Structure 1
Amino acid sequence: MSAEYATFGLAPAMRAGGVLANGDYQVHRDFVDFIVDGRPLLFQLSDLDAVSPLASDVPPAIFTAQVRSLLLEADAPLAGGRYVIYGCPECADLACGAVTAVIERDGDDFVWRDFAWQTEEVADLKLNGYTGIGPFRFRGTEYRSALHSLLREDPDESSARRRVLLIGARVAVLAKLAAALRTIGIGADITHDATDVPPEELRVYGAVAFGRAVGEADREAVRRTFERAGVQVAYVEGLAPIIPLLVAQIEHALDRSPSEQRRLTRLIAADGEAGIEITSTCRVQLTAYRTDRLYRTHIHKVFDGILPAGQHRIGLDTKAVKGESFIVARTSGTVLVQPMAR
């Protein structure tokens, strides 16, 4: 392939939702990311919390229209032949800011150029242009094949799998967990026994979360039920009855993005330190959770900052990790959870 060409592909990605340390909620979004020369294009934009217009929770007609737009089968939505590449994950409003680019044909090729951060109808390249990104020239056959593959998939499939089955003895905790998950856009159902659930109903779940009081025999019975139905799900072993912690565990379980295309790839929590590994510069948040002897929840934000790619060791306040405690590491697209080893 000529050096002037970049490769184009697509891959599932996630904007991680969650219950944050300050009590705010962050909405979960599944979307399809653009893979340029083997890496997510979003990673070239440093610490940007955004999703592509190819999100799984938009109506099928709008999703199809977005794909057709990127294929240049419709007029550009913005002045100057510009298209939204990444937008606000909460509202998709241009006023919140969006990454836009000119998309045009050059013979059989497709070219993405003049990337900019845009908040108004007309982009100001001198003020807000991304000088280090693009232009990218894609071979037409590769570009069209990738986008056309989205039109052949069931647009409702990924949304249906964004649902969790909660199994446990503490009904009050499960009810609070289900409410938190629904608030951030993840469906949740509660049951004590899944053995008689019809296979077609089991297929809507992407994960099963067990409370700590569920015995191994009961867990194995649930696993066999899903196996007999031919349904593959992620299983979550609840670490503690702490709602933000359980939400983070479930977010990780629902992550469908290829592991090699995640920003946060490793978390170790031991000896008063957290060790993390990230693949590109981004904002990383570390939060410690624990319960005391009176079962009160304590939450400590122990780190929040921009880190470059590589491995990092971060010291933790001894008060934050006293007793049985857990560390949640979060970037905009990935969440990892680990109990604090002693």
Structure 2
Amino acid sequence: MSAEYATFGLAPAMRAGRVLANGGYQVHRDFMDFIVDGRPLLFQLSDLDAVSPLASDVPPAIFTAHVRMLLLEAPAPLADGRCVIYGCPECEGIECGAVTAVIERDGDDIVWRDFAWQTAEQADLELNGYRGMGPFRFRGDEYRAELERLLTDGGDAAPERRRVLLIGARVAVLARLAAALRTIGIGAEITSDAAEVPAEELRTYGAVAFGRAVGEHERDDVRAAFERAGADVVYVCGLAPVIPLLVAQIEHALDRSPLERRRLTRLTAQDGAAGVEVTSACRVQLVAYRVDRLHRTHTRELFDGMLEPGEHRIPVDGRAVKGQSFLVARTMGSVLVAPMVH
């Protein structure tokens, strides 16, 4: 086993939710990701839709139990001392598949080794082991300090669930948007006057979404109310009354991770092509939303495949993006929206 040390850290991350064209959805999840040698460990798993056990919507007792397990203060839940590192974002069953590893002490150090994809009590390293991933040796004091921050009073290091405040004139659209956001696990409320909302409540929001009919004077009043409350929010101006598009805009606004820790860092839509930039090998999905002259929405999947790190130009069918249209690019954990420039 290598004697080289890897650095260990934790950072907020998210699995972006999604409203599907067929009425289905994917749940939004906020969680703490493992940062190994300065990069999210999840980035080594290029096509995996998963979250760590340290999620914001896990009950406090279970969250604490997961931390204790990683600290080796509680027994591993699986055979051979194996712990779940990443699991299914929709459920907690091992049957859906999970990335597991052996976590053990070696003197004062902590070692993560024998990573595998596991769907049953026993892991098959020959068949499902992640070759080339680890082992990772962490300095025990650094490792424990990071995890113990999650157990301190107040839980300042734990992931925080965010809500969205919706402001606009088209109440029917806002109601559908709020319902869609709540369906995927994001709290959403509707108001016409943020000045009437108590400051302590304003501080619970992570984003404010303005409808296109909200004037600049009204937006300034809302911004002033949040500034007086000392609330740190991102403001979103809705591109079009298309619910999946608005959800994607809000998901992007709620992503507070540093740019260097995101997989998807750039999306452009111009001259019949999409420009996409990713920081690690990952699966990217590209969807077009077009609003025709009768205000009907048309959805078209343009691309779904693996991309290597770097910049990519993806040709776009002109019929899918004629007129008023928008592109949404997604990876696991990142989403970007761009209007098509003709």
Q: Same fold (TM over 0.5)?
A: yes
Q: d(CA) in 1 for partners of 2:167 and 2:90?
A: 30
* Partner residue in 1 for 2:187: 187
Hey, what does 2:308 align to over in structure 1? 308
Give the Cα–Cα distance (whole angstroms) in 2 for the partners of residues 248 and 46 of structure 1: 21
Query: 1:158 Cα shift?
Result: 7.0
Give the match for residue 267 of structure 2. 267
Note the C-alpha offset of 1:231: 0.6
Post-superposition offset of 1:256: 2.0
CA distance in 1, matches of 2:19, 2:186: 12
Q: Summarize the alignment of residues 12-31 of structure 1 with structure 2, pairs less than 5 Å apart.
A: 12-31=12-31
Contact 2:32/2:158 (8 A) holds in 1: no
Q: In structure 2, do the counterparts of structure 1 residues 161 and 94 end up closer, same or farther at CA, with 3 Å as the change threshold?
A: closer
Q: Distance in 2 between matches of 1:25 and 1:186?
A: 12
Q: What SS is found at the alignment partner of 1:80?
A: helix
Q: What does residue range 1-342 of structure 1 map to in structure 2 within 5 Å?
A: 4-152=4-152, 154-155=154-155, 161-342=161-342
Are the counterparts in 2 of residues 21 and 300 from structure 1 also a CA contact under 8 Å? no
Task: Return the letter of the residue paired with 2:50.
Answer: A
- 1:334 maps to a residue whose letter is S
Cα gap change, 1:189 to 1:222, in 2 (>3 Å): same
Give per-residue Cα distances to partners, 1:229-288, cap 9 Å, x unaligned: 111101000000000000000000001222111000001111111001001111100011
Cα pair distance change 1:81/1:3, threshold 3 Å: closer
Please give the per-residue CA displacement for 1:171-196, whole angstroms capped at 9, x wherever unaligned: 00000000000000001101111112
Where 1:146 maps in the other structure, the secondary structure is helix
How far does the alpha carbon of each residue in 1:143-178 deviate from its partner, in whole angstroms, 9 at most, with x for none?
011111111264599776421000000000000000
CA separation of 1:101 and 1:12: change in aligned 2, threshold 3 A: same
- In 1, distance between residues paired with 2:45 and 2:161? 29
Counterpart of 1:245 in 2: which secondary structure?
A: helix
Instruction: Give the residue type in structure 2 aligned to 1:245.
Output: L
* Separation in structure 1 between the aligned mates of residue 189 and residue 218 of structure 2, nearest angstrom: 17
Q: Secondary structure at the match of 2:319?
A: coil
Structure 2: how far apart are the matches of 1:311 and 1:32?
28
User: What is the total number of aligned residue pairs between the two structures?
Assistant: 341
Range with bigger deviation, 21-30 or 183-192: 21-30
TM-score (norm 1): 0.97
TM-aligned CA deviation for residue 341 of structure 1: 1.2
CA 1:156–1:165 in structure 2 vs 1: closer, same or farther (change >3 Å)?
farther
Relative distance call for 1:137 and 1:213 in structure 2 (3 A) is: same
Secondary structure of 1:274's counterpart equals strand
The answer to whether the 8 Å contact 2:206/2:254 transfers is: yes
| Counterpart-to-counterpart distance in 2, 1:45 and 1:153 | 33
The residue type equivalent to 2:201 in the other structure is E
Measure, in 2, the Cα distance between the counterparts of 1:161 and 1:36. 24
Instruction: Give the secondary-structure state (helix, strand or coil) at the position aligned to 1:141.
Output: helix
The C-alpha deviation readout for 1:131-153, integer Å capped at 9, x for no partner, is 11010000001101111111126
Question: How far does residue 99 in structure 1 lie from its aligned partner after superposition?
Answer: 0.3
Q: Deviations over 1:290-322 (max 9, x none)?
A: 211111111111111111111100011111110
Letter in 2 for 1:59: P
- For residue 24 of structure 1, report the CA deviation from its aligned partner: 2.2
1:199-238 residue CA offsets vs partner (Å, 9 max, x unmatched): 0111111110000000000000000000001111010000
Percent identical residues: 77
Measured on the aligned residues, the alpha-carbon RMSD in Å equals: 1.5
Counterpart residue type for residue 168 of structure 1: G
Q: Secondary structure at the match of 2:200?
A: helix
Change over 3 Å in CA distance of 1:138–1:121 after alignment to 2: same
CA distance in 1, matches of 2:230, 2:13: 24
1:80–1:309 CA distance, 2 compared to 1 (3 A): same
